[in-house]
Amino acid sequence: MNRKISCTINNKSFNVTVDVRKSLLEILRENGYIGVKEGCGVGECGACTVLVDDVPVDSCLYLAIWVDGRSIRTIEGESRDGSLSAVQQAYLDNGAVQCGFCTPGLIMASTAFVEKHKGHRVSREEIRRGHAGNLCRCTGYEDIIRAVEQCLEDAQERKAVKSDSCKV
Amino acid sequence: MFDIESYHKADSVDEAISLLLQNPNAIPLAGGTDVLVRLRQGNSDYGHIVDIHDVADLKEIIREPDGTIVVGSGATFTDLITSHIITEHIPVLAQGAGWVGGPQVRNQATVGGNICNGAPSADSAAPLLVLNAVVELKGPQGIRRIPLYEFYQGPGRVDREQAEIMTALRIAPDDFQCWASGYHKYAMREAMDIATIGCAVACLPQGEQVAKLRLAFTVAGPTPLRCWKTEEKASGAALDPSLLELVGTSVLDDLRPRDSWRAPKDLRQQIIKTLAQRVLIQALKQAGVSLT
C-alpha cells in the first residue's frame, strides 16, 4: 500500500514513498521532524499541529498521502539562521513554555493565528478561541495569550513606524 | 499506523461510487476526524476506505441562479465560516460550524461527515434542520434528494446506501430569505466539547404574527430532531411574550432527552426549555423584533 508523494517541508522539497496507512505525524517523525509530538492521537490536544499550506491541522488525523503537492511547516523550520521566529521569541519573553511537550504544536497554532490576524485588532477572547485546539497542562494559558498579544502588538508597532516613515 | 485493510483514492464522485460498488464493506473517508479516530480505536467496520478527501467537486459552496444555496459535502467547517454566501445568507449555519471542536478540527472536518456519521450531537445538524436543508446523494442509480429530517434514521444511522456519496446540502431561498434565525450550543466547555444540548431556531415573522417557526435540537433524542408539534402550534401565534410561554410549555413534547454521564435527563429538559426561549428571543432581536 505504498504511494509516492512529493511536497515541501519547511521549504525543502521532500519526495518519499509513504504507506497510505500512515499519518502525517508518523511520516514527519520517522524523517527526523521529532518536534512534532504525539499527545492524544485523536485530534483533541493539538500537540501534533503542523501547517499544511499555512493552515493548522492535527497531523495525527491527517493521512500522509494528503500532503502530496502541498507545503508543510513544522517547528523545525520556524527559526532562521540561528534566530527565533517572532512567535518563538514572544513565547520565551513571556515564559509561555514549561514542560515543553505542547509547545511545538502551540507555536504552530500561534504562528498561523498571528499571520492571519496581522494588522487587525484581536481580543483576548479571539486569541483564546484561536488556541482552543491546543491543550497545555502547565502554563494555565495566560502566558501563551500574552505571547500572542505581544506578537500582534509588535506587528502593529512596526506597521505604525512604517507608516510614519512614509509621511516623512 | 491505521489499521486500513484496503485503500482507494477517488478523484471524482463517479469514481468514488464505482469504488464503493466494488467493495460492499468500503466506506468513504473525507475529513478523517471521525473515521481515523474509529480506526485508531481498532474498529474494523472502518477498514476498507474510499478516500474522497481531495474530490474538488465536493468542496464548493455556491448559489444557484434561483437563489438556492448548495453546500458541498466536502466543505470544511472553516470553509463554512469563511464563505460569504453562508455568512451573508444563512449565518445560522456559520454559527453552528463555529462551535465544532477547535480550529484544527474545523480545518479538517467536513459538513458531510458531520451529517453522515449520524451523531445526535452534530453541531451543523440543528442549523441545517431549521433551514429545511435537503440532502443530495449520488449513487449507482443516479441522484436523489431527501429532506435532512428524513435522512436521519436513528443514532449513528442515516439513509445513505453503501455505494452512495452525499454530494451536497441544498437550501432553498424560501427557507432563509426574510427568516430570523440563531443557534446556541450548551456544553461544559466553550470548545472541543460535545453539546449537552444544541438548539437552532428560525422564525418567519409576518406583521405582528409568526408566519412560520422552526425549532431543532441536538442531543435531545436519538437523532437531531425538529419540533413539529410546537412549530404547528406557533404558526399564526402573536409575536409577543405569549410566544415564549407557548414554546416553553410545548417543546418537551417533541423531544426525547435521556440520562447520560454528560447530563441527567431533568437538566437536559431544563436546558431545552431555556434555550428554546433564549435563542428565539435572540434570533428575533436581530431581526428587530423584541419579545421581552
Check if the beta carbon of residue B105 is closer than 8 Å to that of residue B72: no
Residue of B nearest to A51 (CA): B104
Average pLDDT, chain A: 93
For the record, the C-alpha cell of A61 comes out as 488525523
pLDDT score, position B292: 82
- Are the beta carbons of B105 and A21 separated by less than 8 Å? no
Mean pLDDT of B196-220: 96
Check if the beta carbon of residue A151 is closer than 8 Å to that of residue A90: yes
| DSSP for B191-240, written as a single string | SS---SEEEEEEEEEETTEEEEEEEEEESSSSS-EE-HHHHHHHTT-BSS
Please give the tally of structural domains in chain B. 3
Mean pLDDT by 10 residues, chain A (168 residues): 96 97 98 98 97 98 98 97 96 96 98 94 95 95 96 78 53
Residue of B nearest to A105 (CA): B104
Range of the domain at B37: 6-46
B103/chain A closest Cα distance in angstroms: 6
Task: Tell me the HSE value of B221 on the side-chain side, using a 13 A CA sphere.
Answer: 21
Instruction: Give a yes or no: residue B292 inside a domain.
Output: no
B-chain residues within 8 Å CB-CB of A46?
A: 102, 104
Domain boundary among B122, B155, B174: B174
pLDDT score, position B19: 98
Both B152 and B128 in a single domain? yes
Q: Which whole-number Å values give the CA distances from A74 to A13, A55, A78, B161, in the listed order?
A: 14, 12, 7, 40
B-chain residues within 8 Å CB-CB of A53?
A: none
Both B33 and B131 in a single domain? no
Both A71 and A95 in a single domain? no
A-chain residues within 8 Å CB-CB of B102?
A: 46, 132-134
Give the domain CATH number at A3. Answer: 3.10.20.30
Interface of B with A in 67-126 (CB under 8 A): 78, 101-105, 107-108
pLDDT score, position A167: 46
What DSSP designation does B42 have? T
pLDDT score, position A161: 66
Both A4 and A64 in a single domain? yes
A-side interface with B, Cβ within 8 Å?
1, 19-23, 26, 41-44, 46, 49, 55-58, 61-63, 65-66, 109, 129-134
Instruction: Give a yes or no: residue B51 inside a domain.
Output: no
Mutate to test the interface with B, among A30, A61, A122, A136 (most CBs of B within 10 A): A61
Both A7 and A61 in a single domain? yes
Both A18 and A92 in a single domain? no
- For chain A, say whether B188 makes contact (Cβ under 8 Å): no
Instruction: Give a yes or no: residue B80 inside a domain.
Output: yes
Give the domain CATH number at A163. Answer: 1.10.150.120
Domain boundary among A24, A58, A75: A75
Run of H or E including A108: helix A103-117
> How far is residue A107 CA from its own chain's centroid?
5
| Cβ pairs bridging A and B (under 8 Å) | 77
Q: Which of A1, A44, A56 sits opposite B103 (nearest CB)?
A: A56
Cα–Cα dist B34/B41, whole Å: 11
Domain boundary among A28, A49, A75: A75
B62/chain A closest Cα distance in angstroms: 23
Share of chain B above pLDDT 90, in %: 96
Q: What is the pTM of this model?
A: 0.95
Q: Is B115 exposed, middle or buried (0-12, 13-18, 19+ CB in 10 A)?
A: buried
pLDDT digits (tens, 9 = 90+) for B221-272: 999 999 999 999 999 999 999 999 999 999 999 999 999 999 999 999 999 9
SS (H, E, C) B84-98: HHHHHHCHHHHHHHH
Both A164 and A89 in a single domain? yes
Check if the beta carbon of residue B19 is closer than 8 Å to that of residue B8: yes
Please give the tally of structural domains in chain A. 2
pLDDT score, position B100: 96
Whether the predicted pLDDT of B200 surpasses 60: yes
- Are the beta carbons of B1 and A26 separated by less than 8 Å? yes
pLDDT digits (tens, 9 = 90+) for A96-137: 999 999 999 999 999 999 999 988 889 999 999 999 999 999
- Which band of pLDDT confidence, cut at 50, 70 and 90, is reported for residue B56? very high
Both B145 and B186 in a single domain? no
- Are the beta carbons of B192 and A132 separated by less than 8 Å? yes
Share of chain B above pLDDT 70, in %: 100
Cα–Cα dist A77/A33, whole Å: 10
Q: What does residue B214 show for φ and ψ, rounded to 5 degrees?
A: -130, 135
Q: Which whole-number Å values give the CA distances from B201 to B78, B129, B213, B216, in the listed order?
A: 22, 9, 7, 7
Rg (CA), chain B: 19
Higher-pLDDT residue of B292 and B274 is B274
In this structure, the strands spanning B157-158 and B142-147 are: unpaired
Average pLDDT, chain B: 97
Both A83 and A50 in a single domain? no
Q: Is B254 exposed, middle or buried (0-12, 13-18, 19+ CB in 10 A)?
A: buried
Cα-Cα end-to-end distance for chain B: 56
Q: Which whole-number Å values give the CA distances from A117 to A110, A114, A127, B272, in the listed order?
A: 10, 5, 10, 36
Instruction: Give a yes or no: residue B53 inside a domain.
Output: no
B-chain residues within 8 Å CB-CB of A61?
A: 32-33, 36-37, 108
Check if the beta carbon of residue B223 is closer than 8 Å to that of residue B158: no
For the record, the C-alpha cell of A80 comes out as 532562521
Cα–Cα dist B58/A76, whole Å: 34
Both A86 and A137 in a single domain? yes
Task: Tell me the HSE value of B148 on the side-chain side, using a 13 A CA sphere.
Answer: 29
Domain boundary among B174, B205, B223: B174
Residue of B nearest to A132 (CA): B102
Instruction: Give a yes or no: residue B189 inside a domain.
Output: yes
- For chain A, say whether B4 makes contact (Cβ under 8 Å): yes
H helical segments located in chain B: 13-22, 35-40, 77-82, 84-89, 91-98, 103-108, 111-116, 125-130, 148-151, 228-234, 241-250, 265-286
- For chain A, say whether B167 makes contact (Cβ under 8 Å): no
pLDDT score, position A162: 59
- Are the beta carbons of A43 and B37 separated by less than 8 Å? yes
Rg (CA), chain A: 17
- From B202, B201, B197, select the one nearest B99 (Cα to Cα): B197
Cα–Cα dist B20/B138, whole Å: 12
Mutate to test the interface with B, among A63, A107, A135 (most CBs of B within 10 A): A63
- For chain A, say whether B33 makes contact (Cβ under 8 Å): yes
Both B197 and B133 in a single domain? no
In this structure, the strands spanning B209-218 and B197-206 are: antiparallel
Q: Which of B3, B7, B108 sits opposite A58 (nearest CB)?
A: B108
Range of the domain at A49: 1-75
For the record, the C-alpha cell of A37 comes out as 509530538
Cα–Cα dist A45/A96, whole Å: 17
- Are the beta carbons of A133 and B33 separated by less than 8 Å? no
In degrees, to the nearest 5, what angle opens at C-alpha B213 toward C-alphas B118 and B233? 105
Whether the predicted pLDDT of B291 surpasses 80: yes
Q: Which of B32, B53, B192 sits opposite A44 (nearest CB)?
A: B192
Q: Which of A21, A44, A56 sits opposite B107 (nearest CB)?
A: A56
Strand order in the sheet with B27-29: B6-9, B48-51, B27-29
A166/chain B closest Cα distance in angstroms: 33
